Amino acid sequence: MNSILELRNVTMQFGGVVAVNDFSMHIEEGEIVALIGPNGAGKTTAFNCITGVYEPTNGEILYRGHTIAVSHPRGRMRRNYGGAHGDLYTSRRVISPSPDEITRLGIARTFQNIRLFKSMTVYDNVLTAMHLRARQNVFSAVFRISWKEERRMREETERLLKEQDLYQYRDEKATSLPYGKQRRLEIARALATEPELLLLDEPAAGMNPQETRELSAFIKEIKERYSLSVFMIEHHMDLVMDISDRIYVLDFGSPIAEGTPEEIQKNQRVIDAYLGVRDDV
């Protein structure tokens, strides 16, 4: 049985800065995995490598056992490469998918700073995300030959909005929703692309404890309902410890620990990374 997602030696270097170094991890079917680490540890960069926003400098990413991205340092980067295992993938042909190809595979994401379609209503935001899976072409869409498909998309959207408790806001502008609802809408929109793996970038950012508790139940619920695997970046430790099956910890771009919530809580390196180490010890 293959992991749903696997990263091997993923390294991302910007100029001289190694943002993520030799990060290997895997997510199994049906798991909720969290990625934690202090600010600037390279969590979002790792996310962006998976979602195709960045092409990793080195390393390989597999989805259900198939390579979806592989890269090795090239050009000027070959000399300046500061990460590990620089020669491991040199024989491989570079594959670097664009974000839409990744989404098509079944990996959907949300953003740290909410990125909804500003001019659209709540309803249209979700409906737009259905475009990816619609069985139609331009002609059938313009001449309304695929009106059945359009109707299916609309019904699906309504169902999704009802399930996410957003139906009463359907005709409001997306950006006029309260913050917590915007986050929820972003998740609903991601679900509309029919993902198998959902990547959440700080879903609880800016939420109060009450909302965070609701979110934790919500994530568990959608995971069951849509049979998802979830990979998330989060700073709220209550949330992380509550729902994650496993946790990876990054610090200064490098993985420093991996394990169940209990293991991570006891891990001395993690505690040091978060609290700092006294120099004089």
68 binds other proteins (CB under 8 A): no
95 binds other proteins (CB under 8 A): no
53 binds other proteins (CB under 8 A): yes
100 binds other proteins (CB under 8 A): yes
Name the nearest CA neighbour of 193 among 137, 163, 153. Answer: 153
Shortest CB 229 distance to other proteins, Å: 18
Name the nearest CA neighbour of 12 among 65, 67, 54, 61. Answer: 54
Please say whether the beta carbons of 253 and 245 come within 8 A: no
50 binds other proteins (CB under 8 A): no
Name the nearest CA neighbour of 111 among 51, 156, 69. Answer: 51
Which is nearer to other proteins, 126 or 222 (by Cβ)?
Answer: 126
> Cα(175)–Cα(51) distance, rounded to whole angstroms?
24
Which is nearer to other proteins, 135 or 266 (by Cβ)?
Answer: 135
When computed from its CA atoms, the radius of gyration of the chain, rounded to whole angstroms, is 20
Which of 17, 95, 142, 277 lies at the binding interface for other proteins (CB under 8 A)?
142
> Which residues, numbered 18-47, are part of the site for other proteins (CB under 8 A)?
44
97 binds other proteins (CB under 8 A): no
Shortest CB 195 distance to other proteins, Å: 10
48 binds other proteins (CB under 8 A): yes
CA dihedral 251, 200, 202, 242 (to 10 degrees): -90
Which of 21, 103, 182, 229 lies at the binding interface for other proteins (CB under 8 A)?
103
Burial code (b: 16+ CB inside 10 Å, e: under 16) for 134-165 equals eebeeeeeeeeebeebbeebeebbeebbeebe
The site for other proteins (CB under 8 A) is made up of: 14, 44, 48, 51, 53, 98-101, 103-104, 108-109, 111, 115-120, 124, 127-134, 136, 138, 141-144, 150, 153, 189-190, 192-193
